[in-house]
Amino acid sequence: MKVLVIGGGGREHALAWKFAQSERVTEVLVAPGSDGIDDEQGCRSVAIREDDHEGLIALAKKENVALTMVGPEAPLVAGLVDDFLAAGLTVFGPSKAAAEIEGSKQFAKDIMKKYEIPTATYESFTNLVDAKAYVKRVGVPIVVKADGLAAGKGVVVAESESEALTALDEMMTAKKFGDAGASVVIEECLRGEELSYMAFVHGKTVVPMVTAQDHKRAFEGDTGPNTGGMGAYSPVPHLDGDWLKEAEATVLRPMAEAMVAEGVPFTGILYGGLMITEKGPKVIEFNARFGDPETQVILPRLKSDLVDVIERVLDGEEVSLSWTDQACVGVVLASEGYPGSYEKGIPFQLPDVNDTENQLWFHAGSVKDKNEVDGWKTNGGRVLLLSTMAPSLKVALDGTYDVLNQHSWNGLFYRKDIAHQLK
């Protein structure tokens, strides 16, 4: 069978790599894909944009694709899954209506409130004056979120009133995140540690994965602006255990059941971004797809065949997943200036890894340099991620940084304290 992955970032690289491991898969097509994905055995990029629904459907039919997986959130919110299903194609992802769980933070918060799924208290606003009055009345710290999609960057954790008011001005007046900031959600600032907890879902069928912890802030010490993620690791030993059972029972399963009850059943990857507080797990956000960079540290640990898992979940089976006991750490290399403005086209060399079996380069924003043998150029904010599997998190961490620290990265930067929570 052939599999189609929609997207072209690091998450899609990891998905394509994992699908290609299946003995049942003859080829993985990735649209639009990337030069890095093309280097994976059994994978082929096809230059069709994520928003070209007709082109993607035509490709799937022409190539007799048996299963399609949508990586990024934007095509999901735009209704790509609905169009694939209408064309009689098998696709694993939420409908346009169900993808609003990520497409609108107010939509998700309102469902959580109605079905008593633990989350921060909140209010939604479309009027700047009212939003500012609420901030002044409630006080800080407080979290300001653009309601719509903002590539993981539309969130400001404001420690001061002026910071919160500035964030509102940028989102609602200056349109820093475009239409995504026309409406904002202002919520209580939860304290604790963040945890990414994802599950394969089809209606009321819920199959949780292992956990990961992402690092959203750009710089060491969890400082600087929010990014799409600067690194991740799995497992999260100090937060796993009883917390997971509670999060499955109070968050993942109730949300899947709530979506069914609301008439918008969810199919695909339900991502719970949690804060583990003194009072237990609370939801920071829901996403409608695999997390990035969490995918790049979770899928290497999955021993089960990804195609089999998805097909059985679509059949309503709560399949038992098989995982390696090894740990996995991934560190992102990003263009200097990210998540703000940055330069593209900066050349770099990809160093050899120390362990070819357990270390993987996942490409997110890179292109091959046609003028340089084995040369590359930057083509995005997040450029690369180096993933390392090892018997322990410490060994995986050391293995990742051994490669990164021995190389000169002109025009790129990376956090040197990923998984600092473990130290």
2-95 shares its CATH topology with 127-182: no
pLDDT the model gives residue 288: 97
pLDDT band at 328 (very low <50, low <70, confident <90, very high): very high
Task: Assign 239 a pLDDT band (cuts: 50, 70, 90).
Answer: confident
pTM of the model: 0.93
DSSP class per residue in 346-384: -EEE-PPPS-TTTEEEEESSEEE-TTSTTEEEE-SSEEE
Per-residue confidence at 147, pLDDT binned at 50, 70, 90?
A: confident
**Per-residue pLDDT, 153:** 74
Residue 192 contacts residue 182 (beta carbons within 8 Å):
no
d(CA 71, CA 13): 10
- What is the CATH T-level fold of the domain 2-95, as seen in this structure? Rossmann fold (3.40.50)
CA dist., res. 262 & res. 346, Å (int): 48
Task: Indicate the CATH number for domain 193-314.
Answer: 3.30.470.20
Q: For domain 327-422, which CATH number applies: 3.40.50.2300, 3.90.600.10, 3.20.20.70, 1.10.3720.10? A: 3.90.600.10
Structure-token match 């404001």, residue found: 158
Looking at residues 241-258, what average pLDDT do you find? Answer: 94
Q: Is 288 exposed, middle or buried, given 0-12, 13-18 or 19+ CB atoms closer than 10 A?
A: buried
Residues forming a β-bridge with 274:
195, 283
423 pLDDT higher than 70:
no
pLDDT above 70: percentage of residues in the chain: 100
> Which neighbouring-strand residues pair with 18?
none
Q: Which two tokens stand for residue 172?
A: 């609602």
pLDDT of residue 154: 84
Mind listing the pLDDT tens digit for each residue in 336-348?
999 999 999 999 9
Query: Above pLDDT 90, what percent of the chain?
Result: 87
Q: What is the mean pLDDT of the chain?
A: 95
pLDDT score recorded for residue 279: 87
Spans of all domains in the chain: 2-95, 127-182, 193-314, 327-422
Give the type of residue at 400: T
Specify the pLDDT at position 148: 85
pLDDT tens-digit readout, 254-305 = 999 999 999 999 999 999 999 999 888 999 999 999 999 999 999 999 999 9
C-alpha dihedral sign at 368, 371, 374, 375:
negative
- Round to the nearest angstrom and report the end-to-end CA distance of the chain: 45
Residue position matching structure tokens 């097509």: 29
Mean pLDDT over residues 403-421, rounded?
94
CATH number of 127-182: 3.30.1490.20
Would you say residue 383 has pLDDT above 80?
yes
Reported as a pLDDT band with limits 50, 70 and 90, residue 374 is confident
pLDDT tens digits for 44-93?
999 999 999 999 999 999 999 999 999 999 999 999 999 999 999 999 99
Q: Which of 420, 115, 377, 132 is nearest to 123 (CA)?
A: 132
Give me the mean pLDDT over the 325-335 stretch. Answer: 98
Handedness of CA 226, 232, 238, 240 (dihedral sign): positive
Nearest to 214 by CA among 118, 297, 156: 297
Sort 40 into a burial class: Cβ within 10 Å, 0-12 / 13-18 / 19+: buried
pLDDT at 420 over 90: no
